[in-house]
Chains A and B, each alone.
Chain A
């Protein structure tokens, strides 16, 4: 089946540093990838939609200069949390839509970010 990987799975950083999270589709091409944020015991909140070769579309309230998204290839999207602060600590999950499928999204394992 379709597999999506994320790296790193867990990162701890100091306040003010930037953190890059990678999302890869391993066995399919993903023209569209999505980035979500999930707080403990809460649902997944869509942050942005990432389309290969074009700028990401951000959801209302998500700072595009804070959360930089790059989708340079059909199998890789990156999310960079710039100048991270403790309130950015969260579980970040990506998903990828198989280009050959109309609707199905497959999720990565998530990245737990802790900002000290």
Chain B
């Protein structure tokens, strides 16, 4: 089955700096890659996603890049703010009828004011 690795497990940045979280996946057939943000005790919230037919997607301060050949994708957050502090999860899916998501281990991002 699919295996998703996520790095780093923790990331501390100064407010205003950029943060990058990287994920690799094992199944070349995976074609959908969402990123979720989860605050303590709350539900994961979808923040951005990318499909395998594009290499990059941007939404204001958040961007995701995908390298299908290398089977890795990354989340980029620019001009970080304290409210960006949370745990971020990447995931991969085969995009089949079940659309099962395989999650990475998560990255705890701390933005210092």
In the complex, the answer to whether B43 meets A93 with C-beta atoms within 8 Å is yes
Query: Do the beta carbons of A49 and B98 come within 8 Å of each other?
Result: yes
**Which residues does chain B contribute within 8 Å of A112, judged by CB atoms?**
41
Contact with A along B7-48 (1 / 0, CB 8 A): 000000000000000000000000010101000011111100
| Interfacial chain B residues near A105, Cβ < 8 Å | 34, 46, 99, 101
Interface class of chain A by DSSP: strand
Q: Bin chain A's interface residue count.
A: 20 to 34
Query: Is A107 positioned at the interface, with any CB of B under 8 Å from its CB?
Result: yes
Interface status of A72 (Cβ within 8 A of chain B)? no
Name the residue among A45, A51, A105 with the largest chain B CB count within 10 angstroms: A105
Q: Interface residue count for B (Cβ, 8 Å)?
A: 25
Docked CA distance A49–B94 (Å): 14
List residues of B whose CB falls within 8 A of some A CB.
32, 34, 36, 41-46, 49, 51, 89, 93, 95, 97-106, 108
8 contacts between A and B (CB under 8 A): A41-B108, A43-B89, A43-B103, A44-B103, A103-B32, A103-B34, A105-B99, A107-B45
Kindly list 18 other residue pairs between chains A and B, CB separation below 8 angstroms, not including A46-B102, A57-B98: A4-B43, A32-B97, A32-B99, A43-B105, A49-B98, A51-B98, A93-B44, A95-B101, A102-B32, A103-B95, A104-B46, A105-B46, A107-B36, A107-B44, A108-B43, A110-B41, A110-B43, A112-B41
